[in-house]
Structure 1
Amino acid sequence: MKLVLLFRGMLFLLFLTWFCSGQPAPPLLRFSVYLDPSNMVYLRWDHDEQEMMTFDLQVHTTGWVAFGFSPHGELPGSDIVIGGVFPNGSIYFSDFHVVDEATLEEDDSQDYQLLSVTENETSTTMLFKRHLRTCDSNDLDITMDTARLITVFGTDDTVQLFKGQKFSKSLFLMRYRSPSNSTDPKIFFTYDLRLDNFAVPVEETKYACTFLPLPVVKQKHHIYKFEPVITPHNITLVHHILIYACGNASVLPSGIDDCYGANPDFALCSQVVVGWAVGGESYQFPDDAAYSIGTPWDPQYVRLEIHYSNFDLVSGLIDSSGVRIYYTPEVRKYDVGVLQTGIFTFPVHFIPPGAESYRSYGLCNSSQFDEMNGTPVPDLHVFAYLLHTHLAGRGVKVTQYRNGKQLGIICEDNKYDFTLQEIRDMKEILVIKPGDEILVECNFQTLDRSGITFAGPSTMNEMCLSFLFYYPRNNISSCMGYPDILYIAHVLKQEASDAVEGMMAMDFVDWNNETVKTAEKAAKEADQIVVIKTINVNVPPPSFLPTPRLLTCRAQRETEKAFRLCKHWSDMAKTLVCHQFVF
């Protein structure tokens, strides 16, 4: 480590002792979080219209402190600042980058502006700011993607970066709404939707479902906030929790069973009300919108779905996890809805092995929304989103098309982290009109896998989903697509006469960089089968539509073939019990 560079930077910064001592009180920063499990590193931050981000970092040490951005959560390749207070009261602060596992270099361009460095008996606090993009090749940009923050510190002022105590944390920095921006109602109630002492089976993957009543109210109320309620010792066991609204004409089973097992009734109800996944926290809707209950058009029952990942096959686990909802009679202007988009999980989504990057596509064409909804669907005003893949996911992008032309990107995260799946607010309301197309693109990496990764419920399977939170609510639950597998098989020079043979043919492909890119291109160009679900219909008939690239090649998708394909996949993956799909 080139410590001489550190002290070269310190010489011109010693004057900051008197400069910082006269600084005003720290600015009001809207966002804050602890960056480590022991609450030793506390970060406050905010950003402004001038694309400047301010950080206030407090670390439980009286020694040196390093903080910055990492490509993957490790020191090599990181963009960091190092600062502290010498015993004589003078301060040091400078902009560095980490070349490799043993080399630290000071940046020629110093792009972090120090506001103050202070120290008390137990902690060191650094207040500084930087532009989101500095145009320095040694600095990492702050974008709408998930950031990997890294903090390292020592016990004295002898900087030994590679021997310090280190913490890394994934964090979404470009937030636009903090809890202080939300107004709590004067009257509110809470209600828990939870399992009751459920015995988690000794299985790697379990989807447990049950049907629960919503609160009984005599007039319209709004659910304005929700939060996870996780049994403490099961925090690493629970992968996600979803609450689905049921149509009031639905005939629902009792008890708890596998959501997607032998009894298809436990897969009824598909309209998402609220959801939580790994890394998420509580969420409060904007002040002018919330989820409606208590009217004749609102659901009376919901399906609670909890995905357990018991990879260590631990026995004797009892769980009572679920979701706590907050509801109020102080109704808001709009009723919230959730539209699920992406790749229809069954039955033909696959990802080749050994891929540095492989992109999959799922299309939603909303031209049939009016017909499926039963009445004309008003414009969807999207205010928040949640992106979801499993362990192979590296990025998700949701794009909007109108009349064959791309309008723009609805939301994206090119640095997706499976451990941070949270609802994120849009900077501005985005309007989706009936007839628009929504294309969800997921980027996967499978360098550590020798076999095909199939889509499916297990964490080791894959998904590609986007949940769009919007108002005003309609009856559409989901709008997802999947590509023509016959077209992909034929492009890969595989013989296949139906979808089942097309999917099975993927096992005979010699997967290498060339065939991976060929399959990716074919999946992008293939026509898509679009499946639209409503709150009252489990799986309505599909539309078979071209992607926005208007390419050709069609295949007929039949119920029996889809079932055979799913069954074949289940036998291979050993993770799924199939029931009859209706297309």
Structure 2
Amino acid sequence: MHHQLLNMPLFLLSVLCLYSSHASVPPLRFSAFLDPTHQIYLRWDHNAEEAIMTFELQAHSTGWVSFGFTNNKEITGADFVIGGILPDGNVYFSDWHGVSEDTVLEDENQDYELLSLTQDATSTTMAFRRYFRTCDEDDLDITGDTLRLMAGYGTDDTINFFEGRIVHKSLYMMLLSTEDELHSPSIYHVYDLKVDDFPVPEEDTTYACTFLPLPIVKTKHHIYKFEPRITPRNETLVHHILVYACGNASVLPTGVSDCYGADPDFALCSQVVVGWAVGGGSYMFPDETGISIGTPLDAQWVRLEIHYSNFNLIPDLIDNSGIRIYYTPELRPYDMGVLHTGLFTFPIHFIPPGVDSYMSYGICNTSQFEEMNGAPVPDMHMFGYLLHTHLAGKGVRGVLYRNGEQVTVLCEDNKYDFNLQETRNLKETVIFKPGDEFLVECQYQTLDRTDVIFGGPSTLNEMCLIFLFYYPRNNISSCLGYPDIQYVANELGQEASDEMEGMMAINLVDWDNETIKKAEKACKEAEQTVIIKTIDELVRNETSFIREITDTIPAPCKDISKAIPAPRLKRQTVYKAIPPTTAKALGAKSIFPLPPLLFLSWCFTWLLTSSV
């Protein structure tokens, strides 16, 4: 493969490291292995006030190491650093970007600051930092979206980027705290909600449900943490696990059965208690709140729902997966609840095939919450969320409105990854008041599909949901919207006199750019029916319309040198690939190519002008 040789100006990089390698690395709270074999380990932390993120990468290599960001794992447009220590002890470190799939180029603006670079007999550790948003068009922004990370290393310091080991991982980096920073009770108990030796069918989609008792306690306790318990080797099989609280008047079936099959009783109980989806981990609630158990008002039974995706139709699979809950008698100030919002999962929701970007909307109107709750609804303090779509989903955001005006974009992920669905905290609690509206917008890409995708339970169907975690709890379990499908069908030139005919008419549409745009516009303009449900299965309908969304304005860019950035001109140079046969090892002669006096003069000037 032809590639651009990484013949960086190492004399400049050596000076940079001589100056900054003694900088202290602050404590870094968050960490993750970036590869399955645990050869690359990342630690990081961020300072929101300064809009800067600090990294420490450790790779099991004594050659060059690399770390950065990509769009969908592609080299083109990638933003990364490469560093290492030569055999003679000199350090190199530089900011690069991908020009094409076989060409990478050093940035004109160096926006990563090296803090330290060390090496032992087996590993290289590189600490550095950069602003969330630099002023370099060759850098990718660090945002609150799911980021696609790229890391790698070579066997030695002959930097042949395309022949090194490169790994990719999706990661949410704007974490707010670790479990160590939260209050862990001195007394706690553990309880598993799981299936026992369930034979997973040879089908691409299975929803298995069973009803289980919650722990029996004599006094009130709080569930303060949950974590998935996935049967080993079934990690790719289990798509999501939901735990629903049941009303105490419910008559529940026994055994395990299809959640949404012939027996409607296995779909009883709709108040989500906790939820986990593929890629997620454990979650500890904030110190202010927990899930109440043990009082007459608390659920005694739950419905455990496990979604299996056995796309390879593997036979004889046995599963014992579920959710482990941690509960304590050390009570928190508030009981928490979960509000299920978004687009009602039903074939009224559809996405045309072959589109690069298509938006769907579902709205929640809370005007009937107090009447349905049976008592005044206190302000709902939203503190966390879980976003959920299936394979076509590329972005999700939730927007709060009050008196018809946008209050805030409560949560969003514009680079949503189906394989990383986790419960995330809000930076600050956001208050819902009675009468507020909450809009869920989902963005889809269906370039790989030839047929319409309809809303439904299968992984190949679609969903558009946000689960909101809040306190203090009330009796409302879900608030989901869907558009007037009859109106949409008529706007697409199809005859339909009711919802059923409207859904059937969608399959008759000849999809092209014009009809795709008409469909998206009609679904957004149509009146939405809002279905509100309580824990006791009381259902009422409300209506609402989709409001416009004011986009979040990104923060100003920052230059790592704190200098006022000059306007950037787009490059006109064509960078040609250099055959691998011309590549040479980077030796000591390439580090000091300047005459000694000029070199020392340049060092002194650089140190004075670039100190931070």
SS at 2:547's partner residue? coil
- Within-5 A mapping of 1:198-237: 198-237=198-237
SS at 1:99's partner residue? strand
Does the aligned pair in 1 maintain the 2:85–2:91 contact within 8 Å?
yes
Q: 1:469 to 1:497 in 2, by over 3 A?
A: same
- Kindly indicate whether structure 1 or structure 2 has the higher relative contact order, using CA contacts under 8 Å at least 6 residues apart: 2
Task: Give the letter aligned to residue 77 of structure 1.
Answer: G
1:353-404 deviation line (CA, Å, top 9, x unaligned): 1111110000100000001111111111011110000000000010111111
Does the aligned pair in 2 maintain the 1:2–1:105 contact within 8 Å?
no
Q: 2-side partners of 1:260 and 1:529: how far apart?
A: 22
Task: Give the letter aligned to residue 7 of structure 1.
Answer: M
- Once the 2 structures are TM-superposed, how far is the Cα of residue 203 of structure 1 from its aligned partner? 1.0
Does the aligned pair in 2 maintain the 1:20–1:117 contact within 8 Å?
no
Partner of 2:28: 29
Partner of 1:406: 406
Does the aligned pair in 2 maintain the 1:54–1:129 contact within 8 Å?
yes
Partner of 2:426: 426
Q: 2-side partners of 1:3 and 1:83: how far apart?
A: 17
Task: Give the letter aligned to residue 96 of structure 2.
Answer: F
Q: 1-side partners of 2:164 and 2:42: how far apart?
A: 19
- Within-5 A mapping of 1:503-542: 503-537=503-537, 540-542=539-541
- Once the 2 structures are TM-superposed, how far is the Cα of residue 418 of structure 1 from its aligned partner? 0.2
Does the aligned pair in 2 maintain the 1:145–1:412 contact within 8 Å?
yes
Structure label with greater radius of gyration: 2
Does the aligned pair in 2 maintain the 1:383–1:426 contact within 8 Å?
yes
Does the aligned pair in 1 maintain the 2:4–2:102 contact within 8 Å?
no
Partner of 2:143: 143
Partner of 1:284: 284
- Once the 2 structures are TM-superposed, how far is the Cα of residue 73 of structure 1 from its aligned partner? 1.6
SS at 1:93's partner residue? strand
Task: Give the letter aligned to residue 400 of structure 1.
Answer: L
Q: 2-side partners of 1:27 and 1:323: how far apart?
A: 35
Partner of 2:296: 296
- Within-5 A mapping of 1:159-238: 159-238=159-238
Q: 2-side partners of 1:21 and 1:145: how far apart?
A: 31
SS at 1:441's partner residue? strand
Task: Give the letter aligned to residue 467 of structure 1.
Answer: F
TM-score (norm 1): 0.92
Q: Which runs of 4+ in 1 moved over 4 A?
A: 1-5
- Within-5 A mapping of 1:83-482: 83-482=83-482
Q: 2-side partners of 1:21 and 1:467: how far apart?
A: 45
Q: 2-side partners of 1:97 and 1:2: how far apart?
A: 13
Does the aligned pair in 1 maintain the 2:146–2:413 contact within 8 Å?
yes
> RMSD of the alignment, in Å?
1.3
SS at 1:488's partner residue? helix
- Once the 2 structures are TM-superposed, how far is the Cα of residue 408 of structure 1 from its aligned partner? 1.5
Is 1:544 matched up with 2:566?
Answer: no
Q: 1:141 to 1:22 in 2, by over 3 A?
A: closer
Partner of 1:577: none
Task: Give the letter aligned to residue 548 of structure 1.
Answer: R
Q: 1:2 to 1:507 in 2, by over 3 A?
A: closer
Structure 2 regions of 5+ residues with no counterpart?
549-612
Q: 1-side partners of 2:66 and 2:76: how far apart?
A: 14
1:324-344 deviation line (CA, Å, top 9, x unaligned): 000000000011110010000
SS at 1:469's partner residue? strand
SS at 2:13's partner residue? coil
Does the aligned pair in 1 maintain the 2:67–2:81 contact within 8 Å?
yes
Q: 1-side partners of 2:448 and 2:540: how far apart?
A: 38
- Once the 2 structures are TM-superposed, how far is the Cα of residue 541 of structure 1 from its aligned partner? 2.9
Partner of 2:44: 45
- Once the 2 structures are TM-superposed, how far is the Cα of residue 74 of structure 1 from its aligned partner? 2.6
Q: 1-side partners of 2:274 and 2:133: how far apart?
A: 35
Does the aligned pair in 1 maintain the 2:4–2:103 contact within 8 Å?
no
SS at 1:77's partner residue? strand
Task: Give the letter aligned to residue 38 of structure 1.
Answer: T
Does the aligned pair in 2 maintain the 1:32–1:45 contact within 8 Å?
yes
Does the aligned pair in 1 maintain the 2:386–2:468 contact within 8 Å?
yes
Q: 1:447 to 1:90 in 2, by over 3 A?
A: same
Does the aligned pair in 2 maintain the 1:74–1:150 contact within 8 Å?
no
Does the aligned pair in 2 maintain the 1:17–1:89 contact within 8 Å?
no
1:460-492 deviation line (CA, Å, top 9, x unaligned): 000000000010011110100000001111111
SS at 1:110's partner residue? coil
SS at 1:233's partner residue? coil
Q: 1:95 to 1:2 in 2, by over 3 A?
A: farther
- Once the 2 structures are TM-superposed, how far is the Cα of residue 163 of structure 1 from its aligned partner? 1.2
- Once the 2 structures are TM-superposed, how far is the Cα of residue 230 of structure 1 from its aligned partner? 0.6
Q: 1:3 to 1:545 in 2, by over 3 A?
A: closer
Q: 1-side partners of 2:21 and 2:519: how far apart?
A: 61
Q: 2-side partners of 1:73 and 1:354: how far apart?
A: 21
SS at 2:8's partner residue? helix
Partner of 1:573: none
Does the aligned pair in 1 maintain the 2:6–2:159 contact within 8 Å?
no
Q: 2-side partners of 1:333 and 1:187: how far apart?
A: 17
Q: 1-side partners of 2:51 and 2:544: how far apart?
A: 41
| Identity, % of aligned positions | 63
Task: Give the letter aligned to residue 178 of structure 2.
Answer: S
- Once the 2 structures are TM-superposed, how far is the Cα of residue 545 of structure 1 from its aligned partner? 2.9
Does the aligned pair in 2 maintain the 1:74–1:168 contact within 8 Å?
no
Partner of 2:82: 82
- Once the 2 structures are TM-superposed, how far is the Cα of residue 548 of structure 1 from its aligned partner? 3.5
Does the aligned pair in 1 maintain the 2:17–2:93 contact within 8 Å?
no
SS at 1:12's partner residue? helix
Task: Give the number of equivalent residue pairs.
Answer: 547
Q: 2-side partners of 1:205 and 1:310: how far apart?
A: 6
SS at 1:272's partner residue? strand
- Once the 2 structures are TM-superposed, how far is the Cα of residue 68 of structure 1 from its aligned partner? 0.3
1:96-119 deviation line (CA, Å, top 9, x unaligned): 101111111111111001111111
SS at 1:466's partner residue? strand
Task: Give the letter aligned to residue 155 of structure 2.
Answer: T
Does the aligned pair in 2 maintain the 1:118–1:124 contact within 8 Å?
yes
Q: 2-side partners of 1:11 and 1:280: how far apart?
A: 44
Q: 2-side partners of 1:424 and 1:385: how far apart?
A: 6
SS at 1:368's partner residue? helix
